[in-house]
Structures are given as structure tokens and as C-alpha cells.
């Protein structure tokens, strides 16, 4: 499933669609909520900092274990200091600085790649 992000309303639409997909894969209500909330944080970062981007959602499998993978991609300004961006409370927009570190805690895996001036890609996964 591919979702385009352009406006804040797309955040709400995409996270509910992903929550439904997580449910279909077999995640319980707590994990569905964690996944949807992590997506909400990353999607909001894309809309705020990059303007627009794309979410790529898929069911994945590793050693007999089903899971969900979401790749959040934008071609925005990129993140200069990734270490700093993952610090609780760090924000360049008077936010709570909770999105990135929080998304990492909510998911089983998070991998962020960013290049200044080129954009940011965040991959998150959760296993059943």
C-alpha cells in the first residue's frame, strides 16, 4: 500500500488505513495503536518539515514471523544531526521533541537515513 502525504488530513487518513492493515495482519489493539501512533508522528514530521512525502506499507516476513513495515520517505531539507533529533525533547519547531524517539520506542525496529538537502527516509517495523 502506498500513501501520499501532502496535508495534515492525509496524516489522519493514512494512520487509520495502516491501523486497519495491522489489524488484518493479526496485531492486537495495543500494537495497532502503537503502530498507528508511530506512523502519525513520522507522517506529521514529513508534512511539517518536508512539505510532502510518501508512505510505503507492506506486510513482511522473517523466520516464520509476520510483521508490518512502513517506509516514510521525503525529499525535504534532511536532518543535520541525527543523534540530536533522536534526543527526547529536541525540536526545531517548538514541538515536544517526542516524535522520533517516541516512534523508536513504539516500534521494534527503526532505521533513519537522511542527507542534508536531499531528504529523509525512515523505515519502521513491528513483528507479530
Partner 1 sequence: MAKNRQAKNIEEGIHDLTIYKKVLDNVHEEIMLLDTDYRILWANKGVMDKYGSAKAGVISEPCYKVTHGIDHVCRPPHDICPIEEVMKDGGPVTVLHTHFNRNGDKIYAEVTSYPVYDNGRITEFIHISRDVTERVIAEERLKEHQKAIIELSTPVIEVWKGIIALPLIGIIDSSRARQIMENLLDVIVKTSASIAIIDITGVPIVDTEVADRLIKTIKAAMLLGTRCVMVGIKPEIAQSMVHLGVDLSGVSTFASLQSGLDYAFREMGLKVVPQ
Partner 2 sequence: MSKIPILKIEDILIASVQTELHDRMAEDLQHDIMEELGRTNARGVLIDVTALAIVDSFLGRMIGDTAKMTRMMGAKTVLVGLQPAVAITMVELGMELAGIHTALNMEKGIDWLRQNTKNRAMQ
Ligand X SMILES: Nc1ncnc2c1ncn2[C@@H]1O[C@H](COP(=O)(O)OP(=O)(O)OP(=O)(O)O)[C@@H](O)[C@H]1O
- CA–chain centroid gap for 72, Å, is 6
Taking the C-alpha atoms of residue 66 and residue 11, their distance in angstroms, rounded to an integer, is 25
Among positions 23, 49, 54, 69, the unique one binding ligand X when judged by CB under 6 A? 49
Torsion of CA 39, 43, 48, 52, to 10 degrees: 170
Report the length, in residues, of the chain. 128
How many Å is the maximal CA-CA distance in the chain?
43
Nearer of residues 6 and 66 to Mg ion, judged by Cβ = 6
- Stretch in the footprint of partner 2 (CB under 8 A) among 53-61, 78-86, 97-105, 120-128: 97-105
Give which of partner 1, partner 2, ligand X, none residue 50 binds (C-beta under 5 to 8 Å, depending on kind). Answer: ligand X
Pull the grid cell for residue 8: 495534515
Among positions 33, 51, 59, 127, the unique one binding partner 2 when judged by CB under 8 A? 33
CA-angle at 97, arms to 31 and 18, nearest 5°: 30
Residue 85 sits in the site that holds ligand X (CB under 6 A) = yes
> Between 97 and 116, how does the x/- string for binding to ligand X read (CB under 6 A)?
xxxx----------------
Which pairing describes strands 2-5 and 53-62: parallel, antiparallel, or unpaired? antiparallel
**Which residues make up the interface to partner 2 (CB under 8 A)?**
8-9, 11-12, 15-16, 19, 29-30, 32-34, 36-37, 40-41, 44, 88, 95-96, 98-99, 101-102, 105-106
Amino acid at each position: 500500500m502506498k500513501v501520499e502525504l501532502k496535508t495534515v488530513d492525509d496524516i489522519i487518513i493514512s494512520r487509520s488505513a495502516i491501523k486497519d492493515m495491522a489489524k488484518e495482519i493479526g496485531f492486537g489493539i495495543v500494537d495497532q495503536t502503537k503502530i498507528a501512533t508511530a506512523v502519525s508522528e513520522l507522517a506529521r514530521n514529513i508534512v511539517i518539515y518536508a512539505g510532502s512525502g510518501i508512505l510505503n506499507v507492506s506486510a513482511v516476513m522473517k523466520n516464520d514471523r509476520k510483521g508490518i513495515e512502513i517506509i516514510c520517505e521525503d525529499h525535504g531539507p534532511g536532518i543535520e544531526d541525527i543523534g540530536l533529533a533522536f534526543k527526547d525533547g529536541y525540536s526545531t519547531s517548538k514541538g515536544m521533541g517526542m516524535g522520533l524517539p517516541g516512534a523508536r520506542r513504539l516500534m521494534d525496529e527503526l532505521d533513519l537515513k537522511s542527507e542534508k538537502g536531499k531528504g529523509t527516509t525512515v523505515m519502521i517495523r513491528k513483528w507479530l
